[in-house]
Chain A
Amino acid sequence: MSFLELRQIKKTFPGGTEAVKGIDMSVEEGELIVLLGPSGCGKTTTLRIIAGLEVPSEGRVIMAGRDVTNLRPAQRDVGFVFQFYALYPRMTVRQNIAFPLESVGMPRRERAEQIAAVAEAMGLAALLDRYPRQLSGGDRQRVALARAVARRPSVYLMDEPLGTLDADQRLGMREFIRSRQQQMKITTIYVTHDQEEAMSLADRVVVMEAGRICQTGRPTEVYDDPASLFVANFVGSPGMNFVPGQIEIQDAECRFRPDGNDARIALKRHVRPGPIVFGVRPEHAHPAPDGPVAGKIVMDEYQGNFRSVHVDAGFPDNLVMRASPGRNWAVGEQIRLGFDSEHTRLFDVETGQRL
């Protein structure tokens, strides 16, 4: 049995909002799971149900073999980090970090060592004797995180803990969370709407939409083999390109024909003729003099180590191509595109599921 199990969890709020519509999830001990989805997808509600801050309308929460569905948060041994830090204003940073350690009865010396280690690792050593009001927002966020990770609960629950940090600090904290979690092997459930954070942190990503799980898998699985149009778009920045069209078989060859377009894209696999959505990630679209798709450049977004080049090929949405940073693309320039055929994906028009 897994360390943490959610069984058929449903949550309907008074007023009728169905935030969670039947979730099953198993988390192994020591695993870092990221719940990823847009606002309103039910990820925070799911986390709060695991924490005991919400009681599910239906379903069970099993933790370490024990049914904790109706237990209070304090009885569950979870460490919770919110997006909006809540520090004790009249305590110093040191006292803030010490407080949860004291309340579980950790001896003074061990406590001091623990605080020193965490403060050092998180770059807070110089701030230990300051009060929260003397800190910047980013520093307060790091103290909140330090307070949560100084303790060793059986599960860490983190709700967008890096939300208010600058980009620079965010990367450092992400690596800190990842390496500390790997060292200490503490089971962690982490909620975010930021797909990049999810990809970089997770052992497994759980992609959610409208109160349901769309896909669970390792970051590379979710990225390379998304289960649906929603996942393919949500994971990746920018998301996957989609082109609606038809499958045609000609001379025993299976080809994709975009709607209202003369292009023909050869496919590696055989699928039934009929309507379909063709998908390809920006890094698998390239300039190719004899490529199947012709278009013109509408936007060139420089991003430092790459460019996102937007191409109008007469499809409903512009195609985005990930290109090397060295070459400028002029708006209006004509281009032909080719695709890495082993990396193209096909989706059902009706259900959005990948074929």
Chain B
Amino acid sequence: MEEPFLILENITKRFGRVQALRSVSLDVGANELVVVLGPTGAGKTTLLRTIAGLEAPQDGTVRIAGEDVTRRSPAGRDVALVFQDFSLYPNWTARRNLEFPLRAPGRNLTQAQIDERVAWAADLLKIAPLLDRKSQQLSGGEMQRLAIGRAIVRRPRVFLMDEPLTNLDAKLREALRVELARLRRELETPMIYVTHDQTEALSMADRIIVLSEGRILQIGTPQEVYRRPASPVVARQLGQPAINLLNVTRSGSVWVSESGTPVAPAGDETETEMILGVRAEDIAPSGGKHAGTIRVVEEMGPTKTLLVDWAGCDIHIVAPVTLSVSPGDAIFPRVDPARIVLWRA
């Protein structure tokens, strides 16, 4: 494995009595995109701000390219931070917004070099035709491109992105997501990307870090975190609809739900009570032995999502679009036994 470029060791951050980060350790490869996922208040933004130097941790170290930068000012770290609310100068043209970080004291770039960098960033983000407009005249998507442009123009050593697409329309978000994925391949710079959008997390990340209450719950590839979540809390962070969680007890060779419905065959686990997780696409709407009642049918385009009262719970099933069902219908769900996850209760 290549030498990690950015290393966090045992970072602890308290605000008064609030523990925002609890001994967070993490390393990011030189060309890696790491997504930090977690509910509101998990500590995601604090983590980014600590890397950027906007917060000083009480404990732990931040290393970039082998150097300890923990006590260094934000400017001395050479990292770029992109926020969800753009933070552009509204009365300046797009060009002036892009030039600004290049004119910072100590940069000593010639006008020709500045022009060259601006043209490069504008081209990469497809905003070249907009350079002479004031940023307040741009659309939301254009403004966010410009904000990203302002971050990349000075070619920092690390990109930190704090929900950069959250304030955009769903459709625009989709388009920019694809562009960001392309951009990061071309930039070859490590990126830490905070989001609570699971589509962004799954599709963009090399690795996902699931953070909750200031602690890292799991680090893994999107497939690992999606298929083998470390805990029910992690499991619920990914998947649309959310994973089904059932409290089950062993009854002979099967796991049964609290209502006594057999859910899946039991293996050689020694526990008698467990939490069983099964994703909505891993329950077939037919083929099982025990009836459930459909409560809600949602048309999702390529699939439909059923909310079914089954085994004493509300479960979600992703069904083929060709399945013809209505609320009130009885169906016989079948859990794919190869696809379940079990945790100690």
Contacts and interface: CB of A to CB of B under 8 A. Distances in A.
B198 A194 contact: no
A193 B223 contact: no
A223 B199 CA distance: 21
B181 A171 contact: no
Interface of B: 39-41, 140, 169-172, 174, 178, 181-182, 196-199, 202-204, 222-223, 226, 236-242, 279-281, 295-296, 298-302, 305, 307, 318, 321, 327
A179 to B, nearest CB: 6
A223 B238 contact: no
A302 B241 contact: no
B193 to A, nearest CB: 14
A83 to B, nearest CB: 12
B202 A303 contact: yes
A200 interface: yes
Q: Which 6 pairs from chain A and chain B are nearest by CB?
A: A301-B203, A200-B298, A283-B302, A305-B281, A219-B299, A194-B170
Interface string A25-56: 00000000000001100000000000000000
Contact of A302 (B203, B242, B295, B299): B203
Interface residues of A, number: 45
Contacts of A239: 171
A220 B299 CA distance: 7
Given A38-B171, A167-B196, A167-B197, A223 B298 contact: no
A59 interface: no
B174 A302 contact: no
A116 B87 CA distance: 43
Contact of A200 (B169, B171, B305): B305
Contacts of B280: 305
Nearest to A318: B178
Central interface residue in B40, B300, B301, B302, by most chain A CB within 10 Å:
B301
A234 B171 contact: yes
Contacts, number: 104
Interface string A70-104: 00000000000000000000000000000000000
A200 B318 contact: no
A308 interface: yes
Given A167-B240, A282-B302, A304-B202, 15 more contacts: A137-B40, A138-B40, A175-B307, A178-B296, A193-B169, A194-B170, A201-B298, A281-B301, A301-B178, A301-B204, A302-B222, A303-B199, A304-B222, A304-B240, A305-B239
Nearest to B177: A301
Contacts of B237: 168
Interface in A298-345: 299, 301-306, 308, 310, 322, 325
A244 to B, nearest CB: 19
A196 B300 contact: yes
B302 to A, nearest CB: 4
A223 B241 CA distance: 20
A236 interface: yes
A237 interface: yes
A193 B170 contact: yes
Contact of A179 (B181, B241, B295): B295
B170 A168 contact: no
Contacts of B222: 302, 304
Contact of B238 (A38, A237, A304, A308): A304
Contact of B236 (A168, A174, A175, A179): A168
A41 to B, nearest CB: 10
A182 B327 contact: yes
Nearest to A193: B169
A301 B301 contact: no
B261 to A, nearest CB: 22
Contacts of A308: 203
Contacts of B199: 303
Nearest to A331: B185
Interface string A287-302: 0000000000001011
Contacts of A187: none
Contact of A193 (B41, B171, B299): B171
Contacts of B240: 167, 171, 304
Nearest to B221: A302
Contacts of A325: 223
5 contacts: A166-B196, A168-B236, A175-B298, A301-B203, A322-B302
B170 A196 contact: yes
A166 B239 contact: no
B296 A179 contact: yes
A299 B223 contact: no
A353 B170 CA distance: 23
Interface string A210-240: 0000000001100100000000011111110
A237 to B, nearest CB: 6
Contacts of B299: 199-200, 219-220, 223
Interface in A153-183: 166-168, 171, 174-175, 178-179, 182
Contacts of B226: 302, 304
A104 to B, nearest CB: 29
A179 B39 CA distance: 26
Given A236-B301, A303-B202, A305-B279, A39 B236 contact: no
Contacts of B174: 237-238
A302 B238 CA distance: 12
A195 interface: yes
Nearest to A237: B174
Contacts of B170: 193-196, 237
